[in-house]
Structure formats: structure tokens, C-alpha cells
């Protein structure tokens, strides 16, 4: 195993926090490593007005990092797993799975309001059809418009009055020390998160077995099972489509439980399956097929 590892990342404050976390985990576990960080601008960074609803599931926040991996400019790339499309670029795999942060969603609203207290017809900024449909299921009177920018920018747009509220992942707010802006944390039964939400993943070249083995030294087995199951669900459901979908898996004793959501129009279907942990990935694909109305079992 070579001593120098080049880490690729986006340049947002959250991406840099996550990269530093991975770097520290690696340095603690393997003090002999030399680790350098290389910052890239992805398609989503270069085109701040890109319509994320139209480009759902197309990997707009990982494009340049994956190219850099394929071309050997970097050895590993750090991602928010929820930003990754169902199928990674050719020749690349996820090999590192940092312990998952809380995957729940939060409401950030002006004047400290929770969802019930928002005025009728309140404007919610979100570029996620998954969040939009689930919120509309709870409050059919709300209005929605896309919102862009990093976490801090979206919060500021709410505080400035451009929107009455927005929805943000609890994990990102915790990592950035911005929990003071949260006005409500949604239960998982109220809003199912995106596949991989709250997880930091490390992507490498498929043939780099030594690095894959090294990354197991900083990976969490429960998180890995959840990510593999949720991403199998994502791949099977067809992450490129405009329909809302979400999935969340968790180890419960000696069983793995996966809940998935898929929407068609205003109708949301939610289903939960359990299996032994080694079957988690197969469970994700099976659950997706069931929600899509395919062959049961």
C-alpha cells in the first residue's frame, strides 16, 4: 500500500468538513499515511441555476470527482452518499462507509414555526420532489418552488424572506453547527429520507484492492449494509425518474430492516421488509420491485 493518498472533494463547507473527517479517521487508523486534499467543481457547482428537479439522479455533484478518479488524478473521492446516482461511473466502486449520522429531515422556517404553524399557502423552497411530495401529503395547502445554493445559502434565503421555510438534512446541519436554525425534526414515519442520507461514502477505482481493504479499517458494518441496501433500492427503482422515492435501512438486533417509499402522482406507497444482514443488498432490489408493482418476493 502506497503511503501517499490523494483525496478528491467538492469545495463546499460541508464537503470539506466531510473530507477532513475522513482524512482524520484515516490518519488516526494509519498514521504512516500522507494524505493530500484536491478540490474540484462538479457540474452542480459550475451551474448554480441548474434545475435539480430535471436532473434528479444524474450525479451532478460527483461528475468531476469521478472523472478525476478514472483518470488517476486522485486515489479516492469523498461524497455525501445521497448525492450519488444509482449507477456509479465505469470502473468505480464505493469502498468506505463512515458511521451514519442521523438521517432525518428538518424544517427550517422563519419565526421559529413548525409545519403545523406555517400559514396557509406558505412557500417552501425545495429542489427535491421526494421532500415536496411528502410535505404536501402532510400539508396539501403549501406552495413549492426550487431553491439552490449550499446549506448556509438556503437558510439565509429563508431568513431573508424569499421563502417561508425549507427542508434540510439533519446530518448536514449538525456537521456545520447550524442546529439552532431547526424549527422541527421530522420523524422517519413522516418523511422518509433519500437513499444514503446522513452517510459519508468513499469512492475508489474498482481494481484498487489494497485501498479497499484499508478503507474497511474506518468503515462501519451497519452503515455499509444500509448503504448497499438503499443503493440497490435506488438502482432498481430507477433514480433518474421524476417520481419521488426514498429508503432507509437499519440493523435491529440480528435483523436488517428496510423501509422504502415510491410515489405516483399524489399517491405514496410505503413498505417495510426485513432480512438477515447478508441479504440486505438483495432486499433493497426486492423492495423496489414490490413498490413498482413487479413480481412479489
Q: Give the DSSP per-residue string, 22-57.
A: HHHHHHHH-TT-EEEEEE---HHHH-TT--TTTTTT
Would you give the distance in Å from CA 195 to the centre of its chain? 6
The one catalytic residue in 75, 83, 164, 208 is 83
Q: Could you tell me which residues come within 8 angstroms of residue 201 by beta carbon, excluding any fewer than 6 positions away?
A: 78, 79, 80, 81, 84, 94, 96, 97, 98, 227
d(CA 246, CA 290): 14
Catalytic site residue 83?
yes
d(CA 197, CA 278): 21
Interior angle at CA 5, CA 210 and CA 32, nearest 5: 80
Angle between helices 13-29 and 151-159 (to 10 degrees): 140
- β-partners of residue 36 are 6
Three-state SS for 166?
strand
| Cross-sheet strand order for the sheet of 200-205 | 34-39, 4-9, 76-80, 200-205, 92-97
Q: Which residues are catalytic?
A: 83
Amino acid at each position: 500500500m502506497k503511503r501517499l493518498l490523494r483525496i478528491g472533494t467538492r469545495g463546499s463547507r460541508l464537503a470539506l468538513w466531510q473530507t477532513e473527517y475522513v482524512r482524520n479517521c484515516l490518519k488516526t487508523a494509519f498514521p504512516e499515511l500522507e494524505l493530500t486534499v484536491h478540490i474540484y467543481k462538479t457540474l452542480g457547482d459550475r451551474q448554480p441555476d441548474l434545475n435539480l428537479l430535471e436532473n434528479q439522479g444524474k450525479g451532478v455533484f460527483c461528475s468531476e470527482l469521478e472523472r478525476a478518479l478514472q483518470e488517476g488524478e486522485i486515489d479516492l473521492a469523498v461524497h455525501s452518499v445521497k448525492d450519488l446516482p444509482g449507477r456509479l461511473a465505469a470502473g468505480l466502486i464505493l469502498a468506505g462507509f463512515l458511521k451514519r449520522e442521523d438521517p432525518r429531515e428538518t424544517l427550517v422556517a422563519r419565526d421559529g414555526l413548525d409545519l403545523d404553524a406555517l400559514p396557509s399557502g406558505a412557500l417552501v423552497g425545495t429542489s427535491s420532489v421526494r421532500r415536496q411530495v411528502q410535505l404536501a401529503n402532510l400539508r396539501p395547502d403549501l406552495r413549492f418552488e426550487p431553491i439552490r445554493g449550499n446549506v448556509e445559502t438556503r437558510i439565509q434565503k429563508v431568513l431573508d424572506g424569499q421563502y417561508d421555510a425549507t427542508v434540510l438534512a439533519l446530518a448536514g446541519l449538525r456537521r456545520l453547527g447550524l442546529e439552532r436554525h431547526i424549527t422541527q425534526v421530522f420523524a422517519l414515519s413522516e418523511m422518509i429520507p433519500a437513499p444514503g442520507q446522513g452517510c459519508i461514502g468513499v469512492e475508489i477505482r474498482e481494481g484498487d484492492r489494497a485501498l479497499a481493504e484499508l478503507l474497511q479499517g474506518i468503515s462501519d458494518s451497519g452503515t455499509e449494509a444500509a448503504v448497499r441496501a438503499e443503493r440497490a433500492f435506488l438502482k432498481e427503482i430507477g433514480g433518474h425518474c421524476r417520481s419521488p422515492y426514498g429508503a432507509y435501512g437499519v440493523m435491529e438486533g440480528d435483523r436488517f430492516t428496510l423501509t422504502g417509499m415510491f410515489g405516483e402522482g399524489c399517491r405514496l406507497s410505503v413498505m417495510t421488509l426485513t432480512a438477515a444482514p447478508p441479504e440486505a443488498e438483495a432486499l433493497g432490489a426486492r423492495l423496489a420491485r414490490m413498490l413498482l408493482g413487479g413480481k412479489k418476493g
